[in-house]
Amino acid sequence: MGRVEKGVKCVVPGCDNLALRSIAGVKAAAAGLNVSSDKRAYLCKEHYKRYKKGMKKEKMIEKWRHKI
Ligand SMILES: [Zn+2]
């Protein structure tokens, strides 16, 4: 986690925005983003939002799994 240097672009294919955040690629992939999981994922504001949403979903699924 943390801020990203200026000029780094979002790693999501087709996205041309500048990255604002960097997170572990594994986490980004787990949240449903189309990024490679063995590198750090640089995300723009929009995709970081999506990542956070994706993580919430993932947690909900985890809860269901535990119930079953
Ligand atoms: Zn993006």
Task: Report how far ligand 1's centroid is from the alpha carbon of 58 (Å).
Answer: 20
Task: Give the per-residue pLDDT at 68.
Answer: 64
At 15, list the tokens.
């996205």
Task: Give the per-residue pLDDT at 26.
Answer: 94
Domain ranges of the chain: 1-68
H helices within the chain, ranges in order?
25-30, 45-67
Task: Report how far ligand 1's centroid is from the alpha carbon of 33 (Å).
Answer: 10
Q: pTM (2 decimals)?
A: 0.77
Instruction: Give me the mean pLDDT over the 52-67 stretch.
Output: 82
CA atoms within 13 A on the CB side of 38: 0
pLDDT for 58 beyond 70: yes
For 1-51, how does the pLDDT look when each residue is reduced to its tens digit (9 = 90+)? 466 778 899 999 999 999 999 999 999 999 999 998 899 999 999 999 999
**What count of residues does the chain have?**
68
At 13, list the tokens.
């294919």
Instruction: Give residues whose Cβ lies within 5 Å of ion ligand 1.
Output: 10, 12, 15, 17, 44, 47
Task: Give the per-residue pLDDT at 42.
Answer: 95
